[in-house]
Amino acid sequence: MPADALPSPARSLDDLAREERSFTFSHFTCEHAWVIGNILRNALRTADIPALIHISLAAANPVPQTLFHAPSLPGLMPDHETQIARKRATVLRWGHSTWYMACKFGGDEGRFREHYGVEGGEGRAYSVEGGGYPVFVKGVEGVVGAIVLAGLDGEEAHGRLVKAVVEYKELRNDYRSPMRERAMTTGK
């Protein structure tokens, strides 16, 4: 899908917070990450857009557990890995999408750093550029993981992430396995 076919994402913080919370997993595994990652990769390849896709869980240690990490197309610049780390750190620490943080601070990373008191070296560990999306799980407080897309404009990256998550939700809700169908029709 071309970039101009994607609707512009909301800029209202209330709407964005509701959007982020509206899709909460009952649990989140490698299988979820693999399906969402491949939805993103296929959409980006179809649109001929090079980007880097990364999905990880937060962890007790400083390094989150990577569940999916792949380029959509070759030709990415090495600094995309740095952007992945910065977006992931932002989502995991503040529990909102990087697009939410960009809207909150008008895209001004200086205001963001000043507001949270993360100046200097620590401040460079975070980004308010769109393309990082939180993963929430029912019954778990706070954000448990991050879906990150690097290599695109922030607005387009956020739109593509939301579209992939919505597509996954539709697949998950509409999918009926043969065992599930049998149990529904036989009452077992």
Percentage of residues in the chain having pLDDT higher than 90:
67
Q: What is the pLDDT of residues 6-26, one digit of tens each?
A: 788 989 999 999 999 998 999
| Between residues 187 and 169, the one the model is more confident about | 169
Of the candidates 76, 169, 86, 163, the one whose C-alpha atom is nearest the C-alpha of residue 132 is 86
Residue 94 CA to residue 64 CA, distance in Å, equals 15
The listed range with the strongest mean pLDDT (60-64, 146-150, 174-178, 184-188) is 146-150
Unique residue bearing structure tokens 């990082």: 132
Residue 158 CA to residue 79 CA, distance in Å, equals 19
Q: What is the DSSP string of 68-133?
A: EEEESSS---THHHHHHHHHHHHHHHHSS-HHHHHHHTTT-HHHHHHHHT--HHHHTT---SS-EE
- Give the CATH class of 26-173: alpha beta
Evaluate whether 72 touches 44 at the Cβ level (below 8 Å): yes
Residue 43 CA to residue 33 CA, distance in Å, equals 15
Is the pLDDT confidence value at 5 over 80? no
Is the pLDDT confidence value at 148 over 90? yes
The region that residue 102 occupies, defined by phi over 0 for left and psi between -120 and 50 for alpha, beta otherwise, is alpha
pLDDT at 179: 47
Q: What is the pLDDT of residues 77-101, one digit of tens each?
A: 778 999 999 999 999 999 999 999 9
